[in-house]
Every structure is written in C-alpha cells, then in structure tokens.
A and B are shown apart, each in its own frame.
Chain A
Amino acid sequence: MKTLWTSRLTSFLFVLPYLAAFALFLLFPILYGFVISLQDFELLSAAHPFVGLRNYMTIFTPGTYENSIFFRGLWTTLQFVLYSVPLLIITGLGIAMLVNALPAKLRGLFRTFYFLPYALSASVMAVIWLMMFDTNAGFINSLLQKLGLTGIPWLTATPWAWIALVLTTLWWTIGFNMIIFVNALNEVPEDYYEAASMDGANAWKRFVSITLPSIRPVMLFVMITSTIASFNIYAQPFLLTRGGPGDTTRVLLINVLDQAFVRKDIGSASAMAILMALLIMLVSIVQFRLTNRKEKV
C-alpha cells in the first residue's frame, strides 16, 4: 500500500516536465528581464553593472535618444492600432454575416477562402505583398495603369504606406475574427429573429437590437485580441515599408529590437519591452472594465 506522500509525489511527476519548461522558458525570462532592465547591459561586454532605475529614467527624460525612439515608436504603434482595430472588427463581423447569409452549401467553401491567408507565416505574407505593392512592377499598380489611373507609391509615401499596412493586416488576419464571429452568430437563438420579424423590425433594427447585444462578450474578446495583435505589429512595417517613409511607420517593436540588437543596449531595450508589455496588459484590463460597466448601466 502506497503512503500518502508517494502518491502525491507520483501525481507531481506528471506536471513536472511542463512545469520545468514553464519555469525555464517563461517564468525565468520574465524575472530575468526585470533584472536586466536594472543593469547597464551591453550585449557584447561581460560586466553588467547594476544601475537601478536609470534605464527607465532615461526613457522618460525628454531630449534623450531613448526617449525619442520609445515615444515616437509608441505613437506610431498607437496610430496603427487606431487605424486597424475598428476595421478588423467591422470587416470581421461583416464577412461573418455575409458567410452566414450564403446558401448552406457554399458557406464552408467561402469560409475556407477567407480564412486561407491566416495559415501563412508573417514573413511569407509580407513578401507576397511586397511584390503586389511594388511601385513599378507590382500587380496593383499595373492594374491601376490598365484602368487609366496613375500608379501609387504604396510603400514610400503617406498615407499610402499606412493604407498598405492596414490592408495587408486585414487580408492576413481577418479570417480569425470571422471564425469567432460566425461561431457567435450561430449561437444567437433563431426565434429571437423570428419574433422581431413578426413585430415588424427591419434588418438594421434586428441587427442593433438582437445581434449586437447577443454577441457582446465575443465582441469584447475580438476587441482585446485585435488590439493586442495590432500592438505587437512588426512584420508588416519591418518587411514592407522598412519603417518608412522617413520613420513614419517605425513602430515600437522595431525600435525595441533595434535598440537591443543594432545598438546592443539590452538593458535599455528590456526596460522598453517591459513598459510596452505593461501597456498591452493595461489596455486589455481597461477594455474589459469599460465594456463590463456599459453592461451594468
């Protein structure tokens, strides 16, 4: 007969392998990141003297290089969030409703079409669009010229660079939001709509008074995941616009990785990464709170 503690031990052995991976490659890096952010950590030097909060203070001191790249990068990222998130939500919901309105036989086919780009790697996606947007030889400008219009410098002038980044992001990720919304729409009881139709509510009214309230929790989920994803934008400006024109699309993550691997200042880059992570978590908490409050009113 096994004693109690051997049973507890064997139970623990099941968790141990994952717990080790979790501790080594998630928990430890998080804690280590804080330590690094308190050090003068040059990538290539062996000594990493403790400097307290200096890396953070430099970021918040106007006029320093770190201050400029952090806040300009942050502003650029926020611009992208602002441009992309509403479109990601509206288009995602729109396409989901479109798919649901199609004849049942065709739904699966179109869902697969719309979802397909989501399977691609960010680098594959970006390189395909690099070719599509090429000023001289790109498909889109060739098409515009055929229609008698002039070509557009998609990746080298504003606002086109922003439009290109948002468009590629929509193309690449819209399938995710569509799937979430399709799922939510299918769970709205059919009799709600029938009852409303009998009361003479038109399509728009049914959408506002039945669809939207029913999918509210899902809407919140999509809002949060889309905001976080857009906050983490990297591949599109890194590969398509190279942060340009000038540095109009140099988003925060480009600057953080640049600070770490080009300027080799890991300490300062870690401080920036931590501030960015805190902001991302803060945004999701605020969004969660705001939407919850509305529900109570």
Chain B
Amino acid sequence: MGKAKKTGLLLLAILIALFVLLPLVWMLSTAFKNDFEALSGRMNFLPKKPTLDNFVQGLSGELMNTPILRWIVNSLSVGIAGTAIVLLIDSMAAFALARLPDLPLRRTLLAMFIASLMIPGVLTFLPMYIEFNTLGLINTYQALILPATAGAFGVFLLYQFFVSFPKEIEEAARIDGVNKWNLYRRILLPSAVSIMTTLGIFTFMGIYNDFVWPLYATTSPEMRTITAGIAMMATGSYTQSYGKLMAMTTIAALPVLILFIAGQKSFVRAITSSGVK
C-alpha cells in the first residue's frame, strides 16, 4: 500500500472516530454546564462557568421525583444479583448437559434451550407482565431480576466450553471417586473462569442497560433503575434540562463504559461465539 493511501485511510478512521466520540464528549461537557448555558446553542466544549450543580442536585435527591442515588443502587443491585444467579444456574445446567450422559431427557432439553434462543422478546413481554402482576411482584426487585435468568444464551455458551473440556482429566477424577458436585465445583468450574467472566460481563450489561421492562415493571420512583429513570425524565418534566439530563446519563454510562473497556476482550468473545460458527 502506498504511503498516501495509508495516510488517507488513517485520516478517514480519525474522522469516523470523531463522529463516534463527539456525542460522548459533548455529553460530558454539557453535564458541567448550567441549564441556561446548555440551551444557549454555543459550541464551547469547555463550560464558561463550570458547575457541579447538576451532579449535586441530582445525587442529593433535590430534583422532584428523581432519587438518582437510589436508581443507581437499584441498577447495580439487580445487575449483580441477576448476574450471580445466571452464572450459578447456567453453569450447573451446562455442566450436566455436557458432562453427565445419564441426565434424563438430555437431548430434548438441549434442543429446547437452543431453540428458545430464536424467541423474540416481544412474545414474552406482556404475559410476563401479567404473570408478575398476578403474583403481586410488580414494583419489586424480583421483577427486575428474575426475567433475566431464563435466557439460554449462557447455558449455550458454557455448554460449548464444557463439551470441549478434555475427557481424561474428568475420568481420572472419577476413578479417584470424586462425586458429581465436586467434579463440577472443583474441576470444571475453576477451568471456566475466563468464559464465566465473559458471560458475567455480558449478562450484567444486559440487565443494567435494559430500560423497557423496568419502565413497566416498576411503578414508584424509588424502584426505578437508572436507565428507566432517565427515560422517564426525558419524556417528563426534564425534557430540555440538558445539563441535568447529561449529568444523569454520564452517571448511568460510567459503570458500563468502565466495565466495557476493561472487559472488551471478554465481551467480543461472547459476541463472536454467539452464533457465527
């Protein structure tokens, strides 16, 4: 490749990167402006009068009906709880499907789980709402956590990993009289740390970022997750309070952006093993 062409491509790459990063930088900059400056239409990236008011007001709960600190705690809690459950039950199921040939209905279960990956979410959304409503669980943490535990993606991902685990190690352990639980707990799980991390990051981001289900599954301000809360603010009385809105989106985006950058390799692995074979 010629040098001119190489430089041209690099310039193009930088241009696209600017387009991609600009909204994020602008979000950060606006978060430190007062609402008046945020609405002024000026294009200064450095705020004229930088202020922390948006963050302070938001986090101290001064803004009406927006207990933001609570929203973040809610989001992090349901994200962590949901992820922990998914990691536990998915790894146990995947272990049995891949490693315990006497599991009853093994093939049927596997086929059913894999087929469920094609089910669009719109099919379960309304009946799930009615189900939780009937059980009296709307506006509870259970409603925010449990639906995320049913997805078969994790079972499928870990199944693929456990199936390719060398038989010899397992057989040696079996001859030594290791029972199934210890085989799972002491031999297969420790070897799966990396793929479990991948699944963990993927699951946490999925729960944390979802906003449509929490929007309907919660009814009181203090039960909202941060993503649903932001959607409510933007459609409610904070429509053009860009300073405040951007402070909130900055706070909401921070945990996932950090997790994403730190675990990017894991995340990419989850995506690329999700169906392309």
Point out residues on A near B: beta carbons under 8 Å: 4, 7-8, 10-12, 14-15, 17-19, 21-22, 24-30, 32-33, 36, 41, 95, 98-99, 101-103, 106, 110, 112-124, 126-132, 134, 136-139, 141-143, 145-146, 171, 176, 179-180, 183-184, 217-218, 221, 225, 228, 231-232, 234-235, 238-239, 242, 253, 256-257, 260-261, 266, 269-270, 273-274, 276-277, 280-281, 284
Contact = CB atoms under 8 A, between A and B. Distances in A.
Contacts of A145: 41
A14 B41 contact: no
Given A21-B89, A112-B264, A116-B260, 5 more contacts: A32-B130, A128-B26, A142-B41, A235-B211, A280-B120
Contact of B227 (A4, A112, A123): A123
A182 B209 CA distance: 25
A25 to B, nearest CB: 4
A116 B273 CA distance: 20
A95 B16 contact: yes
Contact of A14 (B21, B92, B246, B259): B92
Given A25-B149, A114-B16, A239-B235, A277 B123 contact: yes
B23 A137 contact: no
B260 A18 contact: no
B167 interface: no
A221 B234 contact: no
A117 B89 contact: no
Given A18-B92, A22-B150, A122 B211 contact: yes
Given A18-B89, A26-B124, A112-B264, A136 B212 contact: no
B137 to A, nearest CB: 11
Interface string B112-151: 0100101111111111111100000000000000110111
Nearest to A240: B234
B146 A21 contact: yes
B72 interface: no
Contacts, number: 268
Interface stretch (B49-57, B62-70, B96-104, B192-200): B96-104
Contacts of B4: none
A284 B231 CA distance: 31
A14 B130 contact: no
A15 B264 contact: no
Contacts of B209: 119-122, 124
30 contacts: A8-B103, A12-B104, A15-B97, A19-B93, A19-B109, A29-B131, A30-B119, A32-B131, A98-B12, A102-B9, A102-B10, A113-B17, A113-B20, A114-B17, A115-B264, A119-B260, A120-B256, A123-B234, A127-B233, A127-B249, A130-B234, A131-B30, A131-B242, A137-B242, A179-B272, A266-B126, A266-B130, A270-B126, A277-B120, A281-B120
